[in-house]
Amino acid sequence: MMQTTKIITILLAAIILWGGAAYAQSDTVYVIPVADAISPGVADYIEKGIEKASEVGAACIIIELDTPGGLADSMRNIVMAIYKSDIPVVVFVSPSGARAASAGVMITMAADIAAMAPGTNIGAAHPVGAGGQEINETMEDKVTNDMVAYVKGIAKKRGRNEEWAEKAVRESVSVTASEALENNIIDLIAEDMDDLIKQINGREVPGRGTLDLDDPKQVVMKETLRDKVLKTISNPNIAYILLLIGLAGLYFELSHPGAIFPGVIGGIAIILAFFALQTLPVNYAGFLLIILSVVFFIMEMKITSYGLLSVAGVVSLLLGSIMLFEGDSPEMRVAWKVIIPTVTLISAFFIFVAGMVFRAHGLQPRTGVSGLIGQVGVVRNTIDPEGKVFVRGELWNAEAGSAIPEGAKVRVVNVANLLLEVEAVEETTEPNTA
């Protein structure tokens, strides 16, 4: 019995080992191209790529990086994914002309192997506030010190230049690829992907063994539809436009029930906008200012403010648009080239609608009971004190302060409970209707 159990155990172990060997792809290099600001969508894309490469047992994963920076939280998620990876992670700042700025500095230095192509640069990691302005002194010290401690921790873990890492944050210093190699910021310079793989072949990665890349297969990670959608709508400019489209669509549907199309588009846009806003560093004061601007525009249509509410709406919309996001880099905020035309278009639309409402209020009613006032008709049955008159193609009961004979012309001066109050009209007066 014991011998049978041992045989079964050995067979199971052999099957597991054989299956693992068949599943592993130790001769494969996974490549994740990133040429964008570091956002939640990009972080999710990189994390999934590292997980997939680890699951299939790839030899290593190479992040081909070109970024101006981005969100600190997204950067930290990427760094954590690199640390947790079961296989070596290489960050390659490429192609020539690319950069690893701001958040890209931490991602590059966190890699097991950091490489750059000739003509690239790395650095300028000083945190900035909304609108690209410097943060107030107290908050700047807190944010800067926190980021310095973080990047120095990364540099120490990977045995890289801690002093330069601190300068990159405090002084926004930036260096070329050759300077980065000289200052122990990166491990090597490679012309292209093939040259990089050739140089790292046989390199020992502390804690992860030696890379065996004699003739590796390169697998480029493709973005899924979900990745593309998430990355697209997490762009602050797209999220901002979706928010305004959603608000405008819902306003149309509420003011004109049954239109359907504006409500459907507005509903979809507002849901996508809220999904994007939860992944971005939203300043809710800016969000509330945008909502307040819509309220001001609607009030302009109801209250005679001689344009003051419209001005308040434009100012609120502009301030809210500027304050909406608080990214660490200009790429993570709404661009001026998007804010100016959008604010102009939305403001012009609401002001135009308000003007139409004012003109409609100033016109004499043309329909309904109130539209009868001022109309001229003909007496069909003598009014004494009541009778019947023919006005605008209809026969109405009418009354007058004095007797008016049949065939005489009368003008409607009031309507009460479907009874017209009329007065006689001089014979020289031309009737409006017969």
Active site amino acids? 102, 142
In sequence order, which ranges of 67-211 are alpha helices (DSSP H)?
Answer: 72-84, 103-110, 137-158, 162-170, 177-182, 193-200
Long-range own/partner contacts, residues 292-298 (CB < 8 A, 24 or more apart): 292/316, 292/320, 293/317, 293/320, 294/247, 294/251, 294/350, 297/347, 297/350, 297/351, 297/354, 298/251
Q: What is the CA radius of gyration of the chain?
A: 36
Partners of 60 in the β-ladder:
29
Task: Yes or no: say if 403 and 362 are a contact pair by the CB < 8 Å rule.
Answer: no
Nearest to 128 by CA among 137, 142, 138, 140: 140
Residue 194's CB is within 10 A of a number of other CB atoms, namely 10
Give 383's DSSP letter. B
- Other C-beta atoms within 10 Å of 281: how many? 18
Contact in structure between 92 and 64 (CB atoms under 8 Å): yes
* Separation CA 82–CA 84 (nearest Å): 6
N- to C-terminal Cα distance for the chain?
Answer: 115
Q: What count of other Cβ atoms lies within 10 Å of the Cβ of residue 121?
A: 18
Nearest to 90 by CA among 184, 162, 177, 187: 187
Give the integer Cα–Cα distance in Å for 372 and 297.
33
> For residues 333 and 130, is the Cβ–Cβ distance under 8 A?
yes
- Token pair 């992670």 is found at 89
